[in-house]
Copies of this chain bind each other. A is one copy, B any other.
Amino acid sequence: MEISVTEENYLKAIYSLSTGGFDVSTTALSEKLNNSAASVSDMLKKLSAKKLLHYQKYKAVSLSKLGEKTAKAIVRKHRLWEVFLLETLKFGWDEVHEIAEQLEHIRSEELIRRLDIFLGKPRFDPHGDPIPDHSGSLPATRARSLFEYAKNGSYVFVGVNDHSPDFLRHLSTLGLKPGERFRAEEHNAYDGSFKVRIGRNTRHFLSQKVASNILVKSGT
């Protein structure tokens, strides 16, 4: 069955909006895709006819088995290309998303198979997001936000919850790059903020909002 680039983008959007098992509304999709609700409604019927999602008039939708498999294949491609752009082509980690959005639609199983091998079968992308494997299963991720840890200690920065350019740029100014180690020196239980030290002398204040959006692992 042929799936157009547009259809792929709808599936991806639905997949990303349905984390937590929530069904996805027409309006939520129309905002995510910057399309009118009318266009979305049309497309949902089309995708439903192709058995890619469960649709009932006036109800929110969820992906079918097939739809989810297809969405994951796109996510897999997106994230592998991101790894390629960062590790192989040395792009900055805030520049890769837009290009990966294009590359994810290249049609070739074999290309992705070989790219995966070339990159060393990575299990996480540079933002710390898990890369679905060939069959669609996601590696178990125990990455939690700094906010969830809520205590002082050494951490390794492994990813983000907020992928917006604004946030990524903010992290850049803080000098936080994936793999970076830092130490939480002060944790303020009242407002959830942290004071952290990066390297020997650089110290930053992190608001609760920032701490929630930073994925870390405990840094030995």
Residues of A within 8 A of B (CB): 85, 88-91, 95, 98-99, 102-103, 106-108, 110-111, 114-115, 118
Contacts and interface: CB of A to CB of B under 8 A. Distances in A.
Contacts of A111: 85, 89, 99
Contacts of A90: 114
B102 A114 contact: no
9 contacts: A89-B114, A89-B118, A91-B110, A95-B110, A99-B106, A99-B111, A102-B106, A102-B108, A103-B103
A103 B91 CA distance: 18
A132 to B, nearest CB: 20
A98 B115 CA distance: 16
B91 A114 contact: yes
Contacts of A106: 99, 102-103
A114 B98 CA distance: 15
A118 to B, nearest CB: 6
Nearest to A5: B5
Nearest to A107: B102
A115 B88 CA distance: 9
Nearest to A113: B89
Contacts of A99: 106, 108, 111
A110 B85 CA distance: 11
